[in-house]
């Protein structure tokens, strides 16, 4: 079984998409994060849901966490407004998660080694050909890879 057999579709958004759209996808499907693609549809980054939360926290609270205690509930209702007019790319942290990428013919051990080393919950699988530098086939989650590896126990 190769990477192409394990790859599955995963909810993705373009990096230029509206940030509020990304939040709605995370909320509606209870996702731990999203796959972010570039304008050509290539895998670009993983966006963990906790990084979207960080985007909502006002800078003065990020600098002094104690201020979170003095913000009243009504103000909290306005936090999501910070996303208005912002894109998915604006939610990626500067040291955003490196998105590990595997070729379609990689074996399970190679995928496990990459996932262990990168500590990423997702691996993007791309099909490379002479015409195409890396068409996205899908994503392999840690749960999917464990399912493959558990079969032999």
Q: Applying CB under 8 A, which residues contact a copy of itself?
A: 1, 20, 23-24, 26-27, 30-33, 48-54, 56-57, 61-62, 65, 68-69, 71, 73, 75-81, 83-84, 107-110, 112-117, 119-121, 141-147, 149-153
**Which CB, 42 or 118, lies closer to a copy of itself?**
118
Residue 118's alpha-carbon distances to 32, 66, 113, 123, in angstroms, are: 17, 33, 9, 9
Q: Please, what is the minimum distance in Å from the beta carbon of residue 37 to a copy of itself?
A: 20
Nearer to a copy of itself, 26 or 136 (CB): 26
In terms of CB distance, is 1 or 40 closer to a copy of itself? 1
**Residues 6 or more apart in contact with residue 137 via CB below 8 angstroms:** 3, 4, 7, 104, 125, 126, 127
């Amino acid at each position: 079984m190769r990477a192409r057999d394990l790859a599955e579709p995963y909810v993705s958004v373009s990096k230029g998409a509206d940030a509020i759209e990304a939040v709605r996808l995370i909320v509606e499907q209870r996702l731990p994060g999203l796959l972010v693609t570039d304008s050509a549809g290539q895998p670009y980054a993983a966006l963990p849901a906790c990084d979207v939360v960080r985007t909502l926290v006002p800078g003065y609270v990020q600098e002094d966490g104690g201020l979170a205690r003095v913000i009243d509930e009504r103000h909290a209702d306005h936090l999501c407004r910070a996303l208005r007019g912002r894109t998915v790319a604006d939610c990626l942290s500067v040291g955003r998660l490196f998105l590990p990428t595997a070729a379609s013919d990689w074996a399970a051990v190679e995928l496990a080694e990459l996932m262990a080393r990168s500590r990423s919950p997702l691996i993007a699988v791309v099909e490379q050909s002479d015409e195409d530098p890396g068409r996205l086939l899908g994503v392999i989650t840690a749960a999917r890879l464990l399912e493959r590896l558990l079969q032999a126990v």
